[in-house]
Structure 1
Amino acid sequence: MSAPDFQPPVNPLPPVVILFFLAIAGVEAGLSLGEAGLIGGPGAVGWRLGLIRDYGFSGQIFDWMIANGQFPLSEVKRLVTYSFVHLGFTHGIFAMVLLLALGKMVAEVMGQVAFAVIFVLSGVGGAVVYGLLLNDPMWLSGAYPNVYGLIGAYSFVLWRSLAGTGAQQARAFTLIGMLMALQLLWGVFFEVGTLWVAELAGFFCGFALCFLLAPGEWARMRAGLRRR
């Protein structure tokens, strides 16, 4: 008698999504335990600020690199590393939840390599735009520009799907529109800063990268060129 197929109650996550999640969660777990006094002794209270200083993204440092034409690896690495250090436990938890939810969809539809490229380059693009457009002394930290890049990929998939059914494609941008509206509403009551610039840039990076990474897009582009 053959054994019945086992169906897990929750669909397994793609390994690359788990890898990025564990990288962020591991850093946050260490920092949170240190702040709670469970590891590291009294000095652990300053770990978070130390990591932001060493691995966060500074627009002023970026401006210095552009102005002097010097790009030391110790500073360039911040374009990637800032995404793995968050301002606090809650800040990190929300980013991780969004990463799991959106990352699963993007990795399953576009593939794990495409997911990794979109996640990393959306964070890089968000930081670059933040550094170029603004002169804000506030350091950039956290995976939100990366997550917004995944929202861009999600919007792309929905946009293509709606085009295939003849539906209104503008509906694909409902999520990003709602998030930006919430940012605006929140800004009426609280000081939200300018970090939303990096997040919005991350969204556009994620959306644009899908033209290169989404399955079938190269064939679609070649077909369009031939018709011309």
Structure 2
Amino acid sequence: MSHAPGESPVNPIPPLILALFVLILGVELTFQLGARGLAGGPQAIGWRQSALTDFGFQGQYPTFMVETGQIRAEYLLRFVSYPFVHGSFTQAIFAGIMLLALGKFVGEIMAPVAVFVLFVVSTIGGAMAMWALGGAQDWMFGAFPPVYGLIGAFTYLLYVRLGQVGGPQIQAFRLIAVLAAIQFVFGILFGFAPDWPGDLGGFLTGIAFAPVLVPGGFSALVDRLRQR
């Protein structure tokens, strides 16, 4: 494959995805400095727990709005704020690395804004699934649901690509199958995480929205609907 002079043979990470990564790591760094007494004084030790309580997601919040008819901005914010607070440094690092990797893969096909939109809708989709399938008191936080949304988009793109070259399209689901198997083994050994609906919702949202976010995807979808 040849490249134009001055053109990088490696596609860069979409800038909005890079900005999300910096934000996630910046929040985590703040928690780490506070826990070690390097910022914020004695009260900084509780910054993480306070942030999880203030910005994490629980199904009871949307349920309250539906049952009372009261729309509260602070409750709506939780649908998109939970990916930026993590329960531990390890969770934040793993989620951040996967965000960069999947963001780059998907960004090789989709426009940077489309990748960002995918992140947002997968975040909301994860919250909706958690509301529908999780316990009302179960907390969800961390960037894994939108990361699974990127995995869903990657799965769709690989599925289409394999179809174009005549390859076995079932292989497109290998990554999500491996991740699901790993989660199942850890669940058997250490107990299943209560926020698993968020990951499922993120993945399904990503694979559902990918066809309309690829270049020309929406027009192609409209054409297929017209033909029917």
TM-score, normalising length: structure 1 = 0.91
Paired residues for 1:1-228 under 5 Å: 12-228=12-228
C-alpha spacing 1:227/1:166, structure 2 compared with 1 (3 Å): farther
Aligned-partner residue type, residue 196 of structure 1: W
Aligned-partner residue type, residue 42 of structure 1: P
Contact 1:17 1:107 in 2 (8 A): no
Per-residue deviation, residues 94-150 of structure 1 (Å, max 9, x unmatched): 000001111112223111111111101101111111112222422111000010000
Contact 1:102 1:151 in 2 (8 A): yes
C-alpha spacing 1:11/1:37, structure 2 compared with 1 (3 Å): farther
Q: Separation in 2 of the partners of 1:212 and 1:134?
A: 28
C-alpha spacing 1:136/1:222, structure 2 compared with 1 (3 Å): closer
Per-residue deviation, residues 60-93 of structure 1 (Å, max 9, x unmatched): 2222122222221111000001110000100100
Cα deviation for residue 160 of structure 1 reads: 0.7
Aligned-partner residue type, residue 196 of structure 2: W
C-alpha spacing 1:192/1:19, structure 2 compared with 1 (3 Å): same
Partner SS, residue 108 of structure 2: helix
Per-residue deviation, residues 149-170 of structure 1 (Å, max 9, x unmatched): 0000110110110111122211
C-alpha spacing 1:225/1:13, structure 2 compared with 1 (3 Å): closer
Cα deviation for residue 176 of structure 1 reads: 0.7
Q: Separation in 1 of the partners of 2:75 and 2:158?
A: 37
Q: Separation in 1 of the partners of 2:173 and 2:107?
A: 20
Contact 2:98 2:147 in 1 (8 A): yes
Contact 1:149 1:205 in 2 (8 A): yes
Q: Separation in 1 of the partners of 2:178 and 2:17?
A: 25
Q: Separation in 1 of the partners of 2:221 and 2:41?
A: 57
| Structure 2 unaligned regions, length at least 5 | none
Cα deviation for residue 6 of structure 1 reads: 6.6
Q: Separation in 1 of the partners of 2:142 and 2:225?
A: 40
C-alpha spacing 1:61/1:226, structure 2 compared with 1 (3 Å): closer
C-alpha spacing 1:225/1:59, structure 2 compared with 1 (3 Å): closer
Per-residue deviation, residues 169-189 of structure 1 (Å, max 9, x unmatched): 111111111111111111111
Q: Separation in 2 of the partners of 1:9 and 1:214?
A: 21
C-alpha spacing 1:10/1:213, structure 2 compared with 1 (3 Å): closer
Q: Share of identical aligned residues, percent?
A: 43
| Structure 1 unaligned regions, length at least 5 | none
Contact 2:129 2:200 in 1 (8 A): no
Contact 1:58 1:140 in 2 (8 A): yes
Aligned-partner residue type, residue 66 of structure 1: V
